[in-house]
Amino acid sequence: MNSIKTDLLVIGAGSGGLSVAAGAAQMGADVTLLERHKMGGDCLNYGCVPSKAIIKAGKIAHEMRHAATYGIGSAEPEIDYAAVKDHVHGVIANIAPHDSQERFEGFGVRVIRENGRFVSEDTVEAGDTRITARRIVIATGSSPFVPPIPGLEEVPYLTNESLWDLREKPAHLIVIGGGPIGMEMAQAHRRLGSEVTVLEGEKALGKDDSELAAIALERLRGEGLVIEENTKAAKVRGAAGAIEVEAEDGRVFKGSHLLVAVGRRANTDGLDLETAGIKTTRTGVKVDDRLRTTNKRVYAIGDAAGGLQFTHVAGYHAGVVVQSALFGLPAKAKTAHLPWVTYIEPELAQVGLTEAQARKRHGPKLDVVRFDYDGNDRAQAERLTDGFVKVMVSGGKPVGASIVGHQAGEHINFWAFAIANGVKMKAVTNMVSPYPTYGELNKRVAGAYFSPKLFDSSAVKRVVRLVQRYLP
């Protein structure tokens, strides 16, 4: 068996692992990277990239059907589902070189394409190689969670991993799960011409602000999606092309294809974590605020750490770990400034506290201000007026922002920056936003925070009258 000694061993070549490996290697560390499957991990091959590619295809089809809104003849698009999937895989192929083994070897990273398992606190065995490292980073990501629904094992079903190999358009797609993945794929397939039924055991889009989610769900239902909330799947039966899902209340939903999208589970099986003294929780590897596991030589980041499951969070974790593992700095991971987006249309975006969370934490010191899209001239010009920006403010600073509407994911960047840097609402009002842009929404919501203090204040009015009396 070959033996390697390295400064840093990274297990998993998804977004977080690749960021750690690239940063550490370029700063002079000896880095070894293990990947048992595809470089780029879930985000490139099964998650963020392919999902946004198919969402775009669905959006084009939807715009063709509704072109008459803008004085252009509407047309029913001809959907070639196999060609749509070719588009999806083409996008993956275009990005893949950025995450390739060759590129990272160019950085000086030693890449080994094998499973890894701990054999001691500082040593991992991968194939015929034993790797001893000063520091180890677990960046193994997550996989679709498949619930133990009776009959599911006997029926063909899709997950966000296997969906991309499907070449025939589903006549009627049943989606179990009304979270971000389920709803994104539901709307995309509805726009591509499939009948779609979503079964959600509790509230659809339940992790988002309920006021925002209500607007989004109304739009989705208006496009023809059937969304059944408080509907738990009890049994699954049938065969390819003819699948039935029986709910706990006895109702039966019939479709041609089944997509299971009820959540994800951290990839920790087979690592033999207990051998290295690493404890796990229900959601992933147990870590402290520095992302260290119960074995202080080992870190866990991204989905493997059991917290927020987003690619950008894994990238953020990577920066924290590089500071700690390479420079010995007491860097800590925080969550208050981390945004997330659901890429349905209209988009849902959140950073910091929701209104409910903010009211619970800040009580009467909280101000909630909002500005509607229909008050924005660019939104009016493009007839994209559904939605609003809502900002939670305490002590003159934003502590949370919620957006539903066109490009909400782009607009939340502004508030993510503001919250991360402790920017005051006064600073937002100092900004001059070009007209007409959607970015004006953020300035206008800041104006809404100060308007009552200026226009509804008798003291301000007295001062103005006094000044006007004595001005030459």
Q: Which residues are annotated as a binding site for FAD?
A: 52, 116, 140-142, 303
The whole-angstrom separation of Cα 460 and Cα 381 is 36
The DSSP symbol for 99 reads G
List residues forming the annotated binding site: 52, 116, 140-142, 177-184, 200, 263, 303
Q: Residue 453 — left, alpha, or beta (φ > 0 → left; ψ -120 to 50 → alpha)? A: alpha
Q: Can you list the positions of beta strands (E) in 216-288?
A: 226-228, 233-239, 242-247, 252-255, 257-260, 264-266
424, 355 in Cβ contact below 8 A?
A: no
CB within 8 Å of 452: residues ≥ 6 apart: none
Host H or E run for residue 172: strand 172-176
Alpha carbon 115 to chain centroid distance? 27
List residues forming the annotated binding site for NAD(+): 177-184, 200, 263
CA-to-CA separations, 172 to 76, 285, 384, 400, 435, in angstroms, rounded: 19, 38, 29, 39, 44
The DSSP symbol for 383 reads T
- Hey, is 400 helix, strand or coil? strand
Of 103, 106, 109, the residue nearest 30 (C-alpha):
109
Q: Is 257 exposed, middle or buried (0-12, 13-18, 19+ CB in 10 A)?
A: buried
The whole-angstrom separation of Cα 268 and Cα 300 is 11
